[in-house]
Structure 1
Amino acid sequence: MAASVNEKTGLDPAGLGPRLAALLIDWVLCLLIASLYASPFEVAWPAVVVLILANTFFLGLFGQTPGMRLLRIRCASYPDGGVLGLGRGLVRAALLGLFLPAMIMDSNGRGLHDRAIGSMVVTIPRD
């Protein structure tokens, strides 16, 4: 269950379900792209590299991966809500590629990868 909107920042943390679903969508897309270069059944690392590159690009410049866009969530700078930039996006993506930091969360659902760079996955309000 997602925490309520933070009164100080105005950010509404995204729930675990939408975040995992977005990651699954992104992972499938990365597997498809990586399969153009190597079979994921034989070599696993190309898909992880594609995931890191895609997350760096999309989160760093736009604040959303394709999966996040579909599920109406975004990764925002904490606490101001801005876009991360490519440097912070790369660090977050590399930590996400390790998987374990993403599983160690605080009460706002921020994993170690989010706390390390000062970000938070939040919901996008409906218009």
Structure 2
Amino acid sequence: MLVSGIFAHPMVDGWAPWLVLIFEYTFFIGLFGQTPGMRLARFTCLDAQAERPVGIPRAFVRAMGVALVIPALFGWHDRLAGTALRTLAAQPTA
């Protein structure tokens, strides 16, 4: 909602939050394997087989699944895109 407020009034233009969500997920998960929020929470979304970022096309498929909400409740977005959510191990302190 905060980011979509830059482009449109989210309460009036209902498309803005959805479009920002899909773009954000596609860009960040496709190239880096995690969104900024996932980085803070120490999660990553990678290819289920190769343990690497999935690329833009598969991240878009996952983002569309997340945007549809109901498939996301059952993990269908990960199955459809061939992705898996992983937790990042804590870094040892020196």
Answer yes or no: same fold by TM over 0.5: yes
Which one-letter code corresponds to 1:74 in the other structure? T
Identical pairs, percent: 41
Using the alignment, how far apart are the partners of 1:101 and 1:94 within structure 2? 10
TM-score (norm 1): 0.68
What does residue 53 of structure 1 align with? Answer: 23
- For residue 112 of structure 1, the aligned residue among 58, 61, 76 is 76
Gaps of 5+ in 1: 1-30, 105-110
What does residue 123 of structure 1 align with? Answer: 87
Deviation at 1:99, TM superposition (A): 0.9
What does residue 34 of structure 1 align with? Answer: 4
Which one-letter code corresponds to 1:98 in the other structure? L
Gaps of 5+ in 2: none
Deviation at 1:112, TM superposition (A): 0.2
1:82-97 pair list within 5 angstroms: 82-97=52-67
SS in 2 for 1:35: helix
Using the alignment, how far apart are the partners of 1:34 and 1:117 within structure 2? 25
TM-score (norm 2): 0.91
Structure 1's consecutive aligned runs of 4 or more residues displaced over 3 angstroms after TM superposition are none
Q: Once superposed, what is the RMSD of the aligned Cα atoms?
A: 0.9
